[in-house]
Amino acid sequence: METLEIKQAEKKISATEVNLAGSSFTMACLNNARFEDVALVGVKITNANLSDLEIDGAQLGGAFIHNIGMPPEGHPFFDPNAKQRPLKFENCDLNNSTFTSCDLSGVSISCCNITGMQINGILVEELLKAYENRG
């Protein structure tokens, strides 16, 4: 497989029916890039600004999404006044997913199947029943 090395260049790449497996992008600007009908199995994105990212029609089984949000204290880009813009999940299958040590303050859940959903080991359905029956 041929290796093409591009350094300190400004280019627009249009690639169709190509195999770019194993490619690496470091300190690269890919703003407004579009990936359509692509296989991205095993892709790792680290230290990236993904603001306004839209993922539509993707299979994310086995995905590990972590350390998402504003840069933490001690990070060179830390800003104590910066606020994370809200995320929106719509028509997603998140069954059997796990959220650990996440800030879910102000989260709104509506029109969702919550069967078996637990918060700190307590079934949400039971919490809702207790709330409804608190007479």
Number of structural domains found in the chain: 1
Q: Which residues, at least 6 apart from 91, have a Cβ–Cβ distance to it below 8 Å?
A: none
Distance CA 27, CA 47 (A): 10
Distance (Å, rounded) from C-alpha 109 to C-alpha 53? 21
Look at residue 92 and tell me if it is in a domain: yes
Which domain covers residue 11, as residue numbers? 1-96
Rounded Cα distance between 98 and 119, Å, is 10
For residue 3, being part of any structural domain is answered with yes
Specify which residues 118 forms β-bridges with: 123
Q: Is the pTM of this model over 0.85?
A: no
Each residue's pLDDT, cut to its tens digit, for the chain (135 residues) gives: 889 899 999 999 999 999 999 999 999 999 999 999 999 999 999 989 899 999 999 999 999 999 898 888 998 889 999 988 999 999 999 999 999 999 999 999 999 999 999 999 999 999 999 999 987
